[in-house]
Amino acid sequence: TGDAKITGRVEGGFSVEANGTTYNGRRLAIASGSETVVPPVPGLKEGLASGFVVTNREVLDLKTLPKDLVVIGGGVIGLEMAYYFASVGVKVTVIEMMPKIAGATDPEICKVLQDGFVKKGMVFKLSSKVLEVKANSVVYEEAGEKKEITCDKVLLSAGRKPATAGIGLETLGLEMDRAAIVTDRHLCTTVQNVYAIGDCNGKVMLAHTAYREAEVAVNHMLGKPDEMRYDVIPAVIYTDPEVATVGLTEDECKDKGIAYRCGKAFFRANGKALCMNEPDGLCKVIADAEGKLLGCHLYGPHAADLVQEVCALISTGATVDQLKHIIHTHPTLGEVIQTAAHTM
């Protein structure tokens, strides 16, 4: 198809029309993805139309670097893009409604992440609300005071939502949770033989989640036992150093009334990190009162790779004592996880 964009639309039953051709099947898997959330901020749509405001897609097509960039939203995508632009000399200001960055990420990890960003010259306006986007500026409210900041570009990163409108889903009678298609642990919708995988079900909007959901859905179609475990999906913020997390945070344990223990270790005490001249970082390991592993939260070099060890251990119901007894090669970054376990 080259650069042509082909869209499909459900015509009723399991019939799908795409590019003038109708396809019929015995089952239907919906994987329509997600789209950028555009808040009802005056001037925002006009800014998107003019190119002054860009999303995470258009920002990758810029031919020249802006001198000043305002990022609306301090979530994962916004932080990754903001970090890159700050690294290449762009003055970056992040405006975030919440009192912390990175959404539900462990607050202690967020603090060290933000400190690292500030060292790079980034400016954060937390607990702040964007009021208006003008031709070359952003108006926002901070601590009850109306302020305005001029910039060359605005990056809209206020979240994503399931892309389920306009594709004929109303013909199926699916149960919806706003824009998200409701699914169970097998990715089944409320209509028999209809599945929804990836961002369109709104559960965990990550590529690796969608890959696994597709496997589970196909296995269910084939009658093979399988189901999703949403409690062991790792997530990463690709900055430098990286942030990686899996399982429950301390705050989530408190909210759920779970008695927990937390172990900590620092990369500055890790031989490999020192050899790499990358000593900045923190590892937190969470376990319940009986020692069953519940979560791991990392900020440091190669965090995205390190978190997989704890992800595997949580998946198998392992305990802190079992983690302590796993022999780790020395010197390796992975020793930081074992060190954290030994502090519990």
Question: What's the Rg (C-alpha) of the chain?
Answer: 23
Among the options 208, 325, 330, 342, which is catalytic? Answer: 330
Catalytic residue flag (residue 342): no
145 CB-near residues (< 8 Å, 6+ apart): none
Find out whether 84 and 62 touch, Cβ atoms under 8 Å: no
User: How far, in Å, CA of 296 to CA of 246, rounded?
Assistant: 5
Among 309, 286, 313, residue whose Cα is nearest residue 297: 286
- Contact indicator for 140, 129 with CB cutoff of 8 Å: yes
**3-state helix/strand/coil string of 193-211:** CEEECHHHHCCCCCHHHHH
- Reduced to 3 states (helix: H, G, I; strand: E, B; else coil), residue 86 is helix
Q: What string of DSSP letters covers 8-56?
A: EEEEETTEEEETTEEEE-S-EEE---EEE-----TTHHHHHHHTSEE-T
Residue with token string 């109306």: 146
Q: Which two tokens stand for residue 228?
A: 């999703």
Location of structure tokens 């150093």: 241
The span from the CA of 196 to the CA of 194, in Å, is 7
Q: Alpha-carbon distance 177 to 72, whole Å?
A: 26
Query: Catalytic residues, which ones?
Result: 330
